[in-house]
Amino acid sequence: MKDFVLKGVFLEHIMELIDRYLQAVKFSLPRAQRDDIIKELRDSILSQIEEKEAALGRQLTKDEQVELLKKLGSPMHLASRYGKQQHVIGATMFPIYWRVLKAALGLAFLVQAGASIAMAAAGKPFIQSLSPLLHYPSVALSVFGWVTVVFAAMDFFGARIQVSDRWDPRKLPPLVKSDPRKSRFELIARLVIQIIFGVWWLAGLHYK
């Protein structure tokens, strides 16, 4: 009974490590293919574990599990193999580029929204206060252009961001429970509406 419990705990630990690895890989995969690729990778990893255990005649140790994942490569490196061929930015750098681009666009939006709110709070008319927010598309286009040019240049001149072979699977982020969430579009739309309402309300305070 004790051996059975210990085996269950060991298998649970193995699956947690694999799930944490796959979770990190999934983050950098194309959204439309994520589920299929993760299922394929999970089956492949479990098959490799079974083969090694059959050859050794015992369960793999924790260190052997870690070494197996290391041989597969870091999550970002593995995910890059499934990315579509990019003409401007290579598949290895594309996941990093995509994260940086989204962060830069989000930051630019917050700056423009902050400027609109500040103008409204300073007593500017509603339409004038909305001006920074209305200019966001052109700002976003500039941000997109500069980020793309920088990463394309890095890729062209071979200055690729190297992922160290010394990465440790045991230091992967913990599992995140998937909760039903509202769509990203709905969240963004609600944020924009709230900002516009806030600008209107602040601008209106000065005309009461």
**Domains in the chain: boundaries:** 1-83, 85-208
Longest dimension (CA), the chain: 82
Spatial separation of the C-alpha atoms in residues 156 and 126, rounded to whole Å: 46
> pLDDT at position 94, please?
73
Residue 46 has pLDDT above 50, yes or no: yes
Locate 26 and state its tokens.
Answer: 């999934």
For 160-177, the DSSP string reads --PPPTT--GGGSPPP--
- How much is the average pLDDT of 11-31? 78
The set of long-range contacts for 121-129, using a CB threshold of 8 Å and a minimum separation of 24, is 121/202, 123/203, 123/206, 124/203, 125/203, 126/199, 126/200, 126/203, 126/204, 129/199, 129/202, 129/203
> pLDDT at position 126, please?
80
Amino acid at 58: R
Chain CA centroid to CA 71, Å: 22
Residue-wise pLDDT tens digits, 164-191: 456 788 888 787 765 545 556 666 667 7
Spatial separation of the C-alpha atoms in residues 51 and 97, rounded to whole Å: 37
